[in-house]
A = this chain, B = another copy of it.
Amino acid sequence: MKKNAVVIVEMGLRDGLQNEKHVLDADTRVEFARRLITAGSKRLELGAFVSPKWVPQMAGTSEVVSKALALQKAGDLPKKMEFSVLVPNERGMMDAIESGVKEVAIFAACSESFSLKNINCSIDESFERFKPVMALAKKHKIKVRGYLSTCFGCPFEGKVPEARVVKLAERMNKLGVYEISIGDTIGVANVGQVESLFKKLKKVVPVKKLAAHFHDTRGQALANILEAYKVGVRVFDASLGGLGGCPYAPGAAGNVATEDVVYMFQGMGIKTGLDLQKLIDIYPWMTEKIQHTLPSKVGKVGILKPLGAVTPS
């Protein structure tokens, strides 16, 4: 990574679309990936190998992966790309191996209540499930990214103790993941928490292995990213348009919008590798596909295009 640069991991196809009411077919999702990659995206989570019964939005993930890999093989997409897929367990990992993807992501919660509600097992049990996944990953030379969710607050338990998050990050690091994404699943984090938690995390996990994952439920995501950057974090998760923020369910909100993040870093002179105008150009296409306005403000308004000087009449 360049000294004055950040990496944005595109969540739109997974964390974004998975939380949208309207389901997009595999071809549209491949086209979404293609447009993102044309705008400079180099790390994308393409989907999740979860049961389509529970998450119909992620059905056809293997088709998305195989088509993306085929486009790459044909030279229609750059060779230097990192496609990843979320896997909840060994079964999902087998699907991932079969799909040919070279990176997967695993996830655990930092709150027992959230873990029970979300994946119907305790935090300890979720770490047990990681063992066969990590073994398969090693065998098949697949990189593994780890997510910790509800790191700043839980919808059931409220505040989540920092010490617990730090301990779980350490534990996940020991599993052999190459990066740990610290998630504010319900968009409740504030700048004070971000500073405090990441400073503690840095002591147990090298900061270059830490990523920040904010949802914009309370409009704090960009300020939180700025603070995380100041503490030394250089990898940020984001979704084009802020996908995932279902306008029909107040309280649920998507990832921070990729465009908004790029607008900020570009203004700071920090490289993201992304072309802001090309990202903005995807916005109207996606709002049409997803059938509602997306929260990204930069996506909505675009960059400033001066109308021309006014002279006295």
Contact = CB atoms under 8 A, between A and B. Distances in A.
A223 to B, nearest CB: 4
B192 A269 contact: yes
A183 to B, nearest CB: 15
Contacts of A75: none
26 contacts: A112-B309, A113-B310, A114-B310, A116-B311, A117-B310, A155-B306, A156-B309, A157-B309, A186-B304, A187-B301, A189-B267, A190-B264, A190-B267, A190-B268, A191-B267, A192-B267, A192-B268, A216-B297, A218-B263, A219-B222, A219-B297, A219-B298, A220-B222, A220-B260, A223-B223, A226-B227
Contact of A250 (B251, B298, B300): B300
B192 A296 contact: no
A265 to B, nearest CB: 8
Nearest to A306: B158
Contacts of A251: 301
A116 B311 CA distance: 7
A117 B312 CA distance: 9
A306 B154 contact: yes
A220 B257 CA distance: 11
Given A220-B222, A310-B113, A312-B116, A191 B268 contact: yes
A249 B187 CA distance: 28
Contacts of A117: 310
Contacts of A260: 218-220
B310 A191 contact: no
A125 to B, nearest CB: 10
Range, interface on chain A = 35 or more
A232 to B, nearest CB: 16
Contacts of A222: 219-220, 222-223
Interchain residue pairs A-B with the least CB separation, the first 5: A190-B267, A158-B306, A219-B297, A113-B310, A192-B268
Contacts of A308: 156
A122 interface: yes
A287 interface: no
B218 A297 contact: yes
Contacts of A217: 297, 301
